[in-house]
Structure 1
Amino acid sequence: MTTDPYETRYHRAPCGLLTTTTEGIVVEANDTLLAWLGRTKSDVRGVSLASLLDPSSRIFLETRHSQVLLLQGRAEQVALTMVATDGTAIPILMNSAVVDTGETPLVHSAVFNATERLAYEQDLLRARRSAELSGQRLQIMHDISTAFGVSTSDVEVGDAVVRVAREAFAATAASVLLIDDDGVLQPVSGTNPLWGVVAPIPSIRATDREIVITADDADVTFPELAAGLRDARLEAMSVTPLSAEDRTIGLLVCFFGRTREFDRGFLELQQALGRQAAQTLVRVRLQRDLEHMARYDQLTGIANRSSITETLEASLDAAAQAGEPLTVIFVDVDDFKSVNDAFGHATGDEVLRTLAERFRDGVRTGDSVGRIGGDEFVAICPAADTVAATTIAQRILQLAREPIATAHGALELSISVGASVYSPDAGSPPTADALLNRADDAMYSSKAAGKDQALVR
Structure 2
Amino acid sequence: MSGPSEDWFHAAPCGLLAMTIDGEITDVNEMFLSWSGHALADLVGQPFASLLDPGSRLFFETRYTQVMHLEGRVNEVALTLMKADGSPMPSLVNSIRDDDAGVIRTAVFNAEERIRYERELLTARRAAESSEERVRILQEISSAFGVSASDEDVAESFAQVARTAFAARETAVHLLQDDGDLKLVGGSNPLVGKVAPIAELRATPHVAVITAGPEETAYPQVAAALREERLAALTITPLVADGVRLGILVCFFARRSEFDSQFFDLLDALSRQASQTLTRVRLQRRLAFLALHDQLTGVANRQLLQLTLDESIAQAIDRNEPLAVMFLDVDDFKSINDAFDHATGDLVLVELAHRLQAGVRSGDVVGRIGGDEFVAICAATDGEAASAVADRILDICCQPIAVPDGIISASVSIGISIHRPGSGARPTAEQMLVRADAAMYDSKRQGKNRHTFDAAGA
Say whether the 8 Å CA contact 1:400–1:415 is kept in structure 2.
yes
Classify 1:403/1:342 alpha carbon distance in 2 versus 1 (closer, same or farther; 3 Å). same
> 2:207 aligned with 1:221, yes or no?
no
> 2:168 aligned with 1:142, yes or no?
no
Say whether the 8 Å CA contact 1:208–1:248 is kept in structure 2.
no
Q: Please list every run of 5 or more consecutive structure 1 residues that lacks an aligned counterpart in the other structure.
A: 1-17, 30-40, 49-56, 129-134
Classify 1:136/1:68 alpha carbon distance in 2 versus 1 (closer, same or farther; 3 Å). farther
Root mean square deviation of aligned Cα: 3.6
Say whether the 8 Å CA contact 2:210–2:223 is kept in structure 1.
no
Residue of structure 2 equivalent to 1:272:
269
- 1:36-75 alignment, distance < 5 Å: 42=34, 44=36, 58-59=53-54, 62=57, 73-74=75-76
Please, which moves more after superposition, 439-448 or 192-201?
A: 192-201
Residue of structure 2 equivalent to 1:257:
254
How big is the shift at 1:434?
Answer: 0.8
Residue of structure 2 equivalent to 1:440:
437
Q: Please list every run of 5 or more consecutive structure 2 residues that lacks an aligned counterpart in the other structure.
A: 1-12, 18-22, 41-51, 68-73, 99-103
Say whether the 8 Å CA contact 2:128–2:134 is kept in structure 1.
no
Classify 1:113/1:444 alpha carbon distance in 2 versus 1 (closer, same or farther; 3 Å). same
Say whether the 8 Å CA contact 2:145–2:277 is kept in structure 1.
yes
Classify 1:26/1:188 alpha carbon distance in 2 versus 1 (closer, same or farther; 3 Å). farther
Secondary structure of the 2:295 match is coil
Aligned letter for 1:232?
E
Please, which moves more after superposition, 66-75 or 225-234?
A: 66-75
Secondary structure of the 1:299 match is coil
Task: Output one character per residue of 1:234-285: Cα deviation in whole Å (capped at 9) or x when no partner.
Answer: 0111111111122221111111111354101111110111111111111110
Q: TM-score, normalised by structure 2?
A: 0.78
Classify 1:26/1:147 alpha carbon distance in 2 versus 1 (closer, same or farther; 3 Å). farther
- 1:399-438 alignment, distance < 5 Å: 399-438=396-435
For residue 165 of structure 2, the aligned residue among 162, 168, 174 is: 168
Partners of 2:60 and 2:213 lie apart in 1 by: 57
Please, which moves more after superposition, 105-114 or 318-327?
A: 105-114
Secondary structure of the 2:426 match is coil
For residue 123 of structure 1, the aligned residue among 124, 127, 139 is: 127
Say whether the 8 Å CA contact 2:16–2:106 is kept in structure 1.
yes
Say whether the 8 Å CA contact 2:313–2:323 is kept in structure 1.
yes
Say whether the 8 Å CA contact 1:68–1:75 is kept in structure 2.
no
Secondary structure of the 2:213 match is helix
> 2:107 aligned with 1:106, yes or no?
yes
Task: Output one character per residue of 1:304-327: Cα deviation in whole Å (capped at 9) or x when no partner.
Answer: 111112111111111122222111
Aligned letter for 2:107?
L
Task: Output one character per residue of 1:101-145: Cα deviation in whole Å (capped at 9) or x when no partner.
Answer: 9994424445244575465356336x34xxxxxx33331132233
Residue of structure 1 equivalent to 2:4:
none
Say whether the 8 Å CA contact 2:324–2:419 is kept in structure 1.
yes
> 2:193 aligned with 1:191, yes or no?
no
Partners of 1:67 and 1:214 lie apart in 2 by: 65
Partners of 1:137 and 1:215 lie apart in 2 by: 28
Q: When the two structures are aligned, how many residues end up with a matched partner?
A: 407
Please, which moves more after superposition, 389-398 or 223-232?
A: 389-398
Say whether the 8 Å CA contact 1:26–1:45 is kept in structure 2.
no
Residue of structure 2 equivalent to 1:336:
333
Residue of structure 2 equivalent to 1:352:
349
Partners of 1:62 and 1:26 lie apart in 2 by: 22
How big is the shift at 1:224?
Answer: 2.4
Q: TM-score, normalised by structure 1?
A: 0.78
Say whether the 8 Å CA contact 2:352–2:397 is kept in structure 1.
yes
Partners of 2:194 and 2:428 lie apart in 1 by: 59
Partners of 1:161 and 1:454 lie apart in 2 by: 53
Classify 1:154/1:260 alpha carbon distance in 2 versus 1 (closer, same or farther; 3 Å). same
Classify 1:321/1:202 alpha carbon distance in 2 versus 1 (closer, same or farther; 3 Å). same
Classify 1:147/1:185 alpha carbon distance in 2 versus 1 (closer, same or farther; 3 Å). same
Task: Output one character per residue of 1:211-251: Cα deviation in whole Å (capped at 9) or x when no partner.
Answer: 22222266302112011100110011111111112222111
Partners of 2:401 and 2:16 lie apart in 1 by: 34
Partners of 1:275 and 1:67 lie apart in 2 by: 41
Classify 1:291/1:441 alpha carbon distance in 2 versus 1 (closer, same or farther; 3 Å). same
Classify 1:121/1:136 alpha carbon distance in 2 versus 1 (closer, same or farther; 3 Å). closer
Secondary structure of the 1:219 match is coil
Residue of structure 2 equivalent to 1:288:
285
Task: Output one character per residue of 1:19-40: Cα deviation in whole Å (capped at 9) or x when no partner.
Answer: 44589989659xxxxxxxxxxx
Partners of 1:96 and 1:20 lie apart in 2 by: 10
Partners of 1:97 and 1:251 lie apart in 2 by: 37
Say whether the 8 Å CA contact 1:19–1:27 is kept in structure 2.
no
Aligned letter for 2:128?
L
Task: Output one character per residue of 1:347-379: Cα deviation in whole Å (capped at 9) or x when no partner.
Answer: 100111111122122222222111100011111
Secondary structure of the 2:210 match is strand
Residue of structure 2 equivalent to 1:34:
none
Residue of structure 2 equivalent to 1:248:
245
Task: Output one character per residue of 1:392-414: Cα deviation in whole Å (capped at 9) or x when no partner.
Answer: 22222222222221122111223
Partners of 2:125 and 2:419 lie apart in 1 by: 59
Say whether the 8 Å CA contact 1:69–1:97 is kept in structure 2.
no
Partners of 1:354 and 1:377 lie apart in 2 by: 13
Secondary structure of the 2:427 match is coil
Residue of structure 2 equivalent to 1:312:
309
Residue of structure 2 equivalent to 1:386:
383
Say whether the 8 Å CA contact 2:77–2:94 is kept in structure 1.
no
Classify 1:42/1:248 alpha carbon distance in 2 versus 1 (closer, same or farther; 3 Å). same
Please, which moves more after superposition, 258-267 or 281-290?
A: 258-267
For residue 239 of structure 1, the aligned residue among 236, 240, 247 is: 236
> 2:362 aligned with 1:365, yes or no?
yes
Classify 1:47/1:431 alpha carbon distance in 2 versus 1 (closer, same or farther; 3 Å). same
Partners of 1:179 and 1:264 lie apart in 2 by: 28
For residue 302 of structure 1, the aligned residue among 271, 277, 299 is: 299
Secondary structure of the 1:297 match is coil
Residue of structure 2 equivalent to 1:32:
none
Say whether the 8 Å CA contact 1:319–1:382 is kept in structure 2.
yes
Partners of 2:370 and 2:296 lie apart in 1 by: 11
